[in-house]
A and B are shown apart, each in its own frame.
Chain A
Amino acid sequence: MTSPAPGITAVDIEKWFQLHIASLTGLPPEEVSGAADFESFGIDSVQGVDMLVALENWLAMPDDIPMELLFEAPSIAEAASRVADCKARAARS
């Protein structure tokens, strides 16, 4: 994964999730729908926490994304939006 551009958006994060889940599941990225939730891809907790850590590293915000923010989101797109908000808050503080 490349480093994020400063103006990273929820759309970029959603794309990151799709690529990450595609690499975990072997599905083509276009089949990882942003409308689906993480659970529907059968990702277990260890894969989930690894995904979180990889995302935090990509966004250069270690320890700063609460895991439940991903898992309680009704869809990947919504999770991406919440992560973008989280990043914006972290940038302001």
Chain B
Amino acid sequence: MTAAPAIEAGGSAAAIRHHYDVGNDFYSAWLDPTMAYSCAMWDGLPDDAPLEEAQHRKLRYHSESIGAAPGMRVLDVGCGWGAQMRTLIDDFGVSSCTGLTLSEEQAAFVRANNGPEIAVESTNWHEYSPAMPFDGIVSIGAFEHFAHPEQSQEERRALYRRFFESCLSWTEGRGRLSLQTIAYGSIDAGKANPFITTDIFPAAELPTLEDIVVASQGLYRIVRLRDDAQDYARTCELWAKRLRQAAARGEAGGDAELIDRYYRYLRLSAAGFSMRRIVLLRLRFDPIPRTTRPPR
């Protein structure tokens, strides 16, 4: 998730780095040991299950969603610190993963903590061209970065469509895609609450579910859709608590302004999800075979 400044189409490196390159040590102070910086999943777990367990649940969910199996090659668009790729390899026997991230710190972390089965590239997805096709794609918490508020709805949807077309081409039209993204919920419904509106996501432009449906139409079938906003509210609450506790122990670094900013941001985000002004979508896409795809 992000409160990144204005980003160019596809998410500029500068915007991503602004948010994510504040230091791996800072994030590791309050993220769980998987370093997953995206919504966890309590489905099938008790409400008070620890964050780490719920993050593993989420990582397994996306692995199952793409039908992860031994021998597969998987692409992770927006790989963060690599937790999803590790799960795919360790728990599902996937033979290799490639992660894309624009954060140099994340890329360095992934390289330092993994073997040759995991490759990481500091490349924007819209410039990416793999040497070999993949069997499946996972993308968690990256879609939020793709568009910016200056774009029209039409431009945003065209950009999203380009992403879905790219996914199809990276898998030669055969692989599934498991996508997790924040989306606008009731932001347009009823009167705006000034507490929880633009301050959460000041510049990145979130998609709506409708944007995603329209942009993927004819390319992918949406075969599963979940809205787990409550999971994200809980995740943000737990992160906020962990951040405050780490700061109290002097383990979150010495930048009090940074700690304060993130703490507020996490508390605000938790409320935004609880009030469903923003929601958390998890979607499984199955490619529509080329032969049955309608002409464009």
Contact = CB atoms under 8 A, between A and B. Distances in A.
A80 to B, nearest CB: 17
A39 B195 CA distance: 8
A44 B244 contact: no
Interface stretch (A7-15, A21-29, A67-75): A67-75
A6 interface: no
Interface stretch (B119-127, B214-222, B269-277): B269-277
A71 B193 contact: yes
Interface string A52-68: 11000000001100111
Given A45-B194, A46-B199, A62-B244, A68 B268 contact: no
Interface residues of B, number: 19
Contacts of B244: 62-63
Main secondary structure of the interface of A (DSSP, over half): helix
Main secondary structure of the interface of B (DSSP, over half): helix
B241 interface: yes
A49 interface: yes
Contact of A49 (B194, B197, B241, B267): B267
Given A38-B195, A44-B199, A67 B240 contact: no
Contacts of B196: 45, 71
24 contacts: A39-B193, A43-B194, A43-B195, A45-B195, A45-B197, A45-B200, A45-B268, A48-B195, A49-B267, A49-B268, A50-B264, A53-B263, A53-B267, A63-B240, A63-B241, A63-B244, A66-B237, A66-B271, A66-B274, A67-B274, A68-B274, A68-B275, A71-B275, A72-B275
**The 9 A-B residue pairs with the shortest CB-CB distance in the complex, in nearest-first order:** A67-B271, A45-B199, A48-B195, A68-B274, A63-B241, A45-B195, A49-B264, A68-B271, A68-B275
Given A44-B195, A45-B200, A50-B264, 12 more contacts: A38-B195, A42-B194, A43-B194, A45-B195, A45-B196, A45-B268, A66-B270, A67-B268, A67-B274, A68-B271, A71-B196, A71-B271
Interface of B: 193-197, 199-200, 237, 240-241, 244, 263-264, 267-268, 270-271, 274-275
